[in-house]
C-alpha cells in the first residue's frame, strides 16, 4: 500500500509517500500557494507515483476547500482525518471538533509507535502538547511557536529585524548585538518554555497515577531543543504523516 499523506499547516503543507508506516519521500509546499488556487504541485506529485490511497489532515479550512476536489477526483480511497472520521482513538474532550486534525493524527501516530501514556510536542507555527492516555486523547496545551516569537518581535517593534531560522543556532547567551540578543531570548526562551510545560504535564500525569509518559517531538522547531534532551525526547519528524497512514488503514474495510 502506497499512501499519499498530506498535513496542511498554517505556514507549510507537509506531504509524504508512506509505505508500511515508513515515509519513503516527502516535501513541503507553502500553504499560501494552495489558497491561491494553485494545486499544481499536488497534480505533479499524484502523477509521478502510483498511490493506492490518500489521507489528509488540515488546520486551514480555506486551503482544504481548494485541494479536496483534486484529491477526490483521482478516484482513490480518500480519508479526511477529523474527530468524526477517526477510529481507534477515543476523544476525552468536551468539544472534539475543536481539536486540530494534525493533533489527532499525532496521537494516532504515537499510539502506533509507543502506546500510552505519551506526550506529543508539535513545534510548528504554534507549539502544542497533546496527551495520549489509556482512554485516548486526553487534552493538551497550545503555546506560541518559535517563529511566532521572532515574527512578533519584528512586526511589533520599529527596529528589531526579522530573524531567519539559521540565526537562532549557536551564539552567546549574553548578546553583544541585536541579533544575538534576540536569538538568545527566542531560542533559549523557547526551549525553557517547552521544558516548563513538559515538567508541568508530566507532574500532572504522575498525580493521576498514569506513570511516566513517552515523549515524542515533531515539527520544524524540534531541532532547536537542547542536545541534552536527546535521551528524554524521541524526535519523530514525520509523526503526523505516520498517524495519517495508520488512521487511513483503520477506516478501510
> Which positions are catalytic?
102
Helix (H) or strand (E) holding 80: strand 78-80
Contact in structure between 179 and 187 (CB atoms under 8 Å): no
Instruction: Give the CB-side neighbour count of residue 25, counting CA atoms within 13 A.
Output: 6
Number of residues that make up the chain = 253
CB 179 within 8 A of CB 197: no
Question: Cα–chain-centroid distance for residue 5?
Answer: 13
Omega of the bond leading into 117 within 30 degrees of 0 (cis): yes
According to DSSP H, which parts of the chain are helical?
Answer: 31-35, 40-48, 61-73, 101-113, 146-155, 178-183, 189-207, 239-251
Residues 81, 186: Cα–Cα separation, whole Å: 33
How far is residue 229's CA from residue 225's CA, in Å, rounded to a whole number?
Answer: 7
Say if residues 234 and 215 touch (Cβ distance below 8 Å): yes
| Rounded Cα distance, 246 and 20, in Å | 9
Amino acid at each position: 500500500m502506497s499512501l499519499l499523506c498530506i498535513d496542511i499547516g498554517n505556514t507549510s503543507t507537509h506531504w509524504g509517500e508512506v509505505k508500511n508506516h515508513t515515509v519513503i519521500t516527502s516535501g513541503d509546499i507553502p500553504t499560501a500557494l494552495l489558497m491561491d488556487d494553485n494545486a499544481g504541485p499536488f497534480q505533479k506529485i499524484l502523477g509521478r507515483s502510483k498511490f493506492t490511497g490518500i489521507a489528509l489532515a488540515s488546520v486551514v479550512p480555506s486551503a482544504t476547500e481548494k485541494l479536496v476536489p483534486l484529491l477526490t477526483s483521482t478516484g482513490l480511497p480518500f480519508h479526511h482525518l477529523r474527530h468524526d472520521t477517526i477510529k481507534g482513538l477515543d476523544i476525552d474532550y468536551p468539544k472534539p471538533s475543536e481539536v486540530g486534525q494534525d493533533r489527532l493524527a499525532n496521537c494516532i501516530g504515537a499510539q502506533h509507535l509507543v502506546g500510552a501514556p505519551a506526550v506529543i510536542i508539535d513545534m510548528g507555527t504554534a507549539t502544542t502538547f497533546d496527551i495520549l492516555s489509556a482512554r485516548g486523547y486526553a487534552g493538551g496545551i497550545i503555546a506560541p511557536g518559535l517563529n511566532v516569537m521572532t515574527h512578533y518581535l519584528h512586526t511589533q517593534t520599529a527596529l528589531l529585524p526579522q530573524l531567519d531560522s539559521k540565526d537562532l543556532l549557536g551564539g552567546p547567551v549574553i548578546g553583544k548585538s541585536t541579533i544575538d540578543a534576540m536569538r538568545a531570548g527566542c531560542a533559549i526562551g523557547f526551549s525553557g518554555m517547552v521544558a516548563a510545560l513538559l515538567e508541568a504535564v508530566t507532574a500532572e500525569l504522575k498525580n493521576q497515577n498514569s506513570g511516566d509518559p513517552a515523549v515524542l517531538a515533531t515539527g520544524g522547531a524540534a531541532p532547536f531543543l537542547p542536545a541534552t534532551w536527546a535521551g528524554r525526547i524521541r524526535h519523530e519528524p514525520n509523526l503526523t504523516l505516520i498517524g495519517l497512514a495508520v488512521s487511513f488503514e483503520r477506516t478501510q474495510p
